[in-house]
Amino acid sequence: MKMVMGEALSVHDMSLFDAINETDIDDIWYILKKIFWPIFVSALFMALSCVFAYGIHWLRNVIEEIKRKDENATFF
């Protein structure tokens, strides 16, 4: 009986585990590194840029609202 992450596997589970060899795991890891990782990083930076742009938009609206209430308000 094999132990995987501290759990005992049955005979049925062992045959499923043995069906995945090291080459398959290497192929899966290669796909994750070469294809999905750049997509994930690009999506993350796009989301961060959207958050940054929304923050600037919100800050400009706050400044305009303050200027409407007080014409002599100065910033910076």
Band of residue 1 on the pLDDT scale cut at 50, 70, 90: very low
pLDDT digits 0-9 by tens, 4-37? 555 655 555 555 555 666 677 777 788 888 888 8
Number of residues that this document lists for the chain: 76
Instruction: Answer yes or no: is pLDDT of 39 > 70.
Output: yes
Task: State residue 40's pLDDT score.
Answer: 92
User: What pLDDT shows up at residue 70?
Assistant: 85
With beta carbons less than 8 A apart as the criterion, state whether 1 and 8 touch.
yes
Q: Is the pTM of this model over 0.75?
A: no
Query: Please, where are the H alpha helices in the chain?
Result: 11-19, 22-31, 37-69
